[in-house]
A and B are shown apart, each in its own frame.
Chain A
C-alpha cells in the first residue's frame, strides 16, 4: 500500500472512531493537500476560493480608525438597502451617533427636508460665489449681503434641526455614555 492509501485508511479509521462519516473525495483531496483537485470536485469551494483570490489585491490592513468606521458604516448602509429591496419596502439604515448607539430611524419627511436643505445650501453657496467675485470699487460684501448670507446659513441649519433642545441632546448623550461605561465594565 502506498503512503497515500495508508493515510486514507488512517483518516477513515479516526473518523469512524469519532462517529463521523468518511470524507468525500473532495474533502480527502483537501486533507491530502491537493487543493486544486478538491476545487475541481467542489464547484462551491472553487467559487469561494476565486472570490478570495480576487479580493486579496484590495486587502487593506492599514486603515485608520476613521477609515475603518466609515467603511463599515458604508457596508452597513448597503446591507440595509439590500434588506429593504428584498422585503419590498424601504429599509433605512440606523446611523450610529457618536455614542455608538443607533439613532432613530429617519422619518418619511427626512428625504424631503434634506432635499430642501441641499437646495438652500446651493442658493447660499451661489450667494457666496456672487458676493466673492471681485466687483469694481468693492472690497468686501455689504452689510445687506452679509445679512443675506447669514439668513441662508440659518435657513439650512433649521432644516437640519432634529427638534431636540440642547438640554435634551446633552441628557441623551449623557445617558448613552453611562450605558457605554457600564457595558465596558467601567
Chain B
C-alpha cells in the first residue's frame, strides 16, 4: 500500500511538473494550478466558542435534513456557513469544511454552478492550507464540477488534480 501511495504521489507530481514545464502554445493557455497545501487536523484545546460553533453546525445539518425543499435546506446551510469557526480548533475546522462541502454540493444540484464557484473559489485558493479530510476532497471536487460547468477548464482540472492528491493523502493517513 505504501508503494502504491508513493507511485500515486509520483504520478500526480509528474503531471503537475509537466503542466508547469510545457512550452506555451500559440493560443492563450490558462495555467493549471495544482498546488495543494495541507495540514493534519489536531483537536486543539476545547473552548466554549468551539462547542457553540460545532453544536450550531450540527443543528443546521439537522434542520436542513428536515427542510421541506432543497432550496430551503440550502438556505439553512448557507446561513450557517456565514459563521466562521473559531481559530486553532481542529474539530470546528472539520465541521466547517463538512458544512461547506454539503452546501456546495447542494448548490450544484440546484443548478447554480456560478454560485458554487463563488462559494468555494475564495475558500479553496491554492495558497490556503486545507485539512487532510474527506470533506476537503469533496469541496475540491465540487469546485472542479462548478468550474467545468461554467467553462473554466483550467480551474476544473486543477481542482480535480488537487482532489486526487488529497485523496491520496487520506489513504496514506488511514493505511500508511
The number of inter-chain residue pairs (CB within 8 angstroms) is 188
Q: Who on chain B is nearest to A136 by CB?
A: B25
In the complex formed, the residue of B with least CB distance to A129 is B15
User: 0/1 per residue, A122-148, Cβ < 8 Å to B?
Assistant: 101110110111100001110100110
A66, B42: Cβ atoms closer than 8 Å: yes
Q: Which residues of A contact B7 (CB under 8 A)?
A: 122
B91 touches A156 (CB 8 A): no
Instruction: Return B149 CB to nearest CB of chain A, in Å.
Output: 10
User: In the complex, are the beta carbons of A117 and B51 less than 8 A apart?
Assistant: no
Size bracket, chain B contacts:
35 or more
Q: Which of B8, B28, B39, B145 interacts with A125 by CB under 8 Å?
A: B8
Q: How many residues of A contact B (CB 8 A)?
A: 59
* Beta-carbon contact of A128 and B51 below 8 Å: no
A8-16, A29-37, A93-101: which one contacts chain B? A93-101
Q: Which single member of A69, A129, A160, A167 contacts B171 (CB below 8 Å)?
A: A160
Contact between chains at B55 and A99 (CB < 8 Å): no
Known contacts A125-B168, A149-B144; 6 additional CB pairs below 8 A are A66-B40, A146-B148, A157-B134, A160-B171, A170-B98, A186-B47
Interface set of A (CB-CB < 8 Å, partner B): 65-66, 69-70, 74, 77, 95, 98-100, 110-111, 114-115, 117-119, 121-122, 124-126, 128-129, 131-134, 139-141, 143, 146-147, 149-150, 152-154, 156-157, 160-162, 165-167, 169-171, 173-174, 176-178, 180-181, 184, 186
